[in-house]
């Protein structure tokens, strides 16, 4: 998996050979010497097939030590987006984390502005700092909690739909968003529920269309 912050591993493996030989563009292990040939090691009583020595190292095959099974991406049909993901739990963690941090940042900024605005300009610095901190801690976590709850609920429903239908498409997303929106306003009455469901479903549909267009 290549993450935006850590994509240097694949580049590092192929770099040494690019300057040594112009003919081969990438690093290819010399498979003719060690695939089936018995390697003789002096202190062993008889020759040993080195591919049997250490299965994880895959000495007899190509260089594939990097593709361990834990790194496998989700193989659900239709789920390959522009964000790499190992499955619904990955989506859940990253989705709610991103939404919470985004909500916290936006709410914190709003709270900072509110605290700056409400304190009188001639207040002592200590009182001013306290008022600003209070406003930040009131607005930030509220918005973050709300956004995080919505993200968790959406990802859980999306995961359930993906699992029951065994593939992912935009309708799963829209339905999960609509159910999330309806649940979010479920104590307010039918009309707010419908409006919220429309907004959330529309948002998720637009998000899916936008990311699949990339």
Min. distance of Cβ 69 from other proteins in angstroms? 9
CA distances 181 to 91, 92, 115, 172, 188, Å, are 19, 17, 31, 14, 12
Q: Yes or no: say if 200 and 189 are a contact pair by the CB < 8 Å rule.
A: no
Nearer to other proteins, 55 or 120 (CB): 55
Min. distance of Cβ 41 from other proteins in angstroms? 9
Nearer to other proteins, 70 or 75 (CB): 70
Min. distance of Cβ 175 from other proteins in angstroms? 21
Min. distance of Cβ 20 from other proteins in angstroms? 27
Q: Yes or no: say if 152 and 60 are a contact pair by the CB < 8 Å rule.
A: no
Q: CB under 8 Å, gap of 24 or more: what pairs does 11-19 form?
A: 13/63, 13/66
Query: Where along the sequence are the contacts to other proteins (CB under 8 A)?
Result: 1, 3-6, 43-46, 48, 53, 68, 70-71, 90, 92-98, 100-101, 133, 141, 144-146, 148-149, 151-152, 187
Min. distance of Cβ 100 from other proteins in angstroms? 5
Nearer to other proteins, 19 or 67 (CB): 67
Q: Yes or no: say if 38 and 48 are a contact pair by the CB < 8 Å rule.
A: yes
Angstrom distance (rounded) from CA 195 to CA 214: 29
Neighbour count for residue 200 (Cβ, 10 Å): 24
Neighbour count for residue 69 (Cβ, 10 Å): 5
Min. distance of Cβ 141 from other proteins in angstroms? 5
**Residues sharing a CB contact under 8 Å with residue 95, sequence separation 6 or more, in sequence order:** 151, 152, 154, 155
Nearer to other proteins, 28 or 48 (CB): 48
Nearer to other proteins, 7 or 210 (CB): 7
Nearer to other proteins, 129 or 206 (CB): 129
């Amino acid at each position: 998996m290549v993450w935006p912050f850590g994509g240097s591993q694949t580049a590092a493996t192929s770099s040494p050979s690019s300057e040594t030989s112009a003919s081969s563009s990438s690093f290819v292990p010399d498979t003719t010497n060690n695939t089936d040939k018995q390697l003789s090691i002096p202190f062993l009583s008889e020759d040993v097939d080195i591919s049997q020595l250490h299965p994880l190292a895959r000495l007899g095959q190509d260089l594939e030590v990097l593709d361990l099974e834990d790194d496998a991406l989700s193989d659900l049909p239709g789920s390959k987006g522009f964000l790499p993901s190992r499955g619904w739990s990955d989506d859940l963690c990253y989705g709610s984390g991103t939404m919470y941090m985004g909500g916290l940042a936006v709410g914190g900024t709003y709270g900072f502005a509110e605290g700056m605005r409400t304190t009188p300009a001639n207040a002592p610095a200590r009182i001013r700092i306290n008022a600003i901190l209070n406003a930040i801690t009131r607005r930030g976590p509220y918005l973050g909690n709300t956004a995080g709850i919505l993200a968790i609920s959406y990802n859980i429903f999306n995961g359930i739909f993906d699992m029951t239908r065994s593939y992912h498409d935009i309708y799963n997303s829209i339905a999960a968003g609509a159910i999330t929106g309806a649940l979010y306003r479920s104590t307010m009455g039918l009309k707010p529920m419908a409006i919220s469901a429309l907004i959330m479903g529309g948002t998720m549909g637009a998000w899916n269309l936008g990311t699949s267009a990339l």
